[in-house]
Amino acid sequence: MFYVKKILLNLNIKFSSIYILEYGGIREVTEEYTNHMKRLTEKILGWLSEGLGLPRVALTQSMGGDTAEYVLRINFYPPTQHSELTIGAAAHSDMGAIALLVPSEVPGLQAFKDEQWYDLNYVNSAVVVIIGDQLMRMTNGRFKNVFHRAKTDRERLRISWPVFVAPRDDMSVGPLPELTGDENPPKFETLIYKDYIDQKIKGWALEDLPVY
């Protein structure tokens, strides 16, 4: 069986060297899937920008526009008889800006709110949108990052295809000037994205590392 653990893509849909072309049209399907996700991401960021009273392109441009990085991960969560004790991905927030996920009929994704975990139920044709750290930082906390985790199922294999969207490693990311002022000072330091990643990883305890 052919497994792709991680596929890195940019907006020109250039595939990393681990991608093998011989497998029955999977490249074409993945290309089409990623293109749809890219267009949907830009629409969602546009709606979020307008909700903040900003121009429609504000958040997209703040992530680098066409230089933003899109990462498609394919996650496999095998069934386990002790699913209530097994965590497929430890509780975490995403380091990037936003993630889009077509939900699986096999349950497992959970979000943390009001001091408890909630199951994200399957809705046909829905897309789960997960706000990440950088979108929270850009909006000076107006949008909150989502603390979430993935659990395994007792009987069924769960597969997920999340698309993660983030700035380039060398981009400076911090609160947008339009969203700060004397009455709303910046709540976050402006950092190079790569430096933010390094700081966050250094702050993780070994048992807290998310497993993708």
Count CA atoms closer than 13 A to 93's CA, side-chain side.
19
Q: Note whether 94 and 200 are within 8 A (CB).
A: no
List Cα–Cα distances, 4 to 29, 159, 180, in angstroms. Answer: 14, 12, 42
Asked if residue 16 has pLDDT above 50, the reply is no
Answer whether 77's CB lies under 8 Å from 153's CB.
yes
* Residue 165 lies inside a defined structural domain of this protein: yes
Return the higher-pLDDT residue of 24 and 95. Answer: 95
Range of the domain at 51: 6-208
Cα 159 to Cα 36: distance, rounded to the nearest angstrom: 19
The β-bridge relationship of strands 69-73 and 163-166 is antiparallel
Residue 51 lies in a domain: yes
State the average pLDDT over residues 103-114: 88
CATH number for the domain including 25?
2.60.120.330
Only one residue has tokens 């402006």, namely: 190
Q: Is residue 1 part of a domain?
A: no
Residue 187: inside a domain: yes
Q: What is the pLDDT of residues 34-90, one digit of tens each?
A: 888 889 999 999 999 999 999 999 999 999 998 999 888 888 888 877 655 556 677
Average pLDDT, the chain: 81
Q: How many domains does the chain have?
A: 1
pLDDT tens-digit readout, 144-182: 999 999 888 888 888 888 899 999 999 999 999 999 999
Residue 175 in domain: yes
Q: 18 and 71 in contact (C-beta within 8 Å)?
A: no
pLDDT value at position 24?
54
Band (pLDDT 50/70/90 cuts) for residue 131 is very high
The whole-angstrom separation of Cα 10 and Cα 210 is 23
The distance in angstroms from the start CA to the end CA of the chain is 19
At 19, the pLDDT band (50, 70, 90 cuts) reads very low
Specify if 16 maps to a domain.
yes
Tell me the one-letter amino acid at 82.
Answer: H
Please give the Cα distance from 101 to 130 (Å, whole number). 8
Instruction: Report yes or no on 134 lying in a domain.
Output: yes
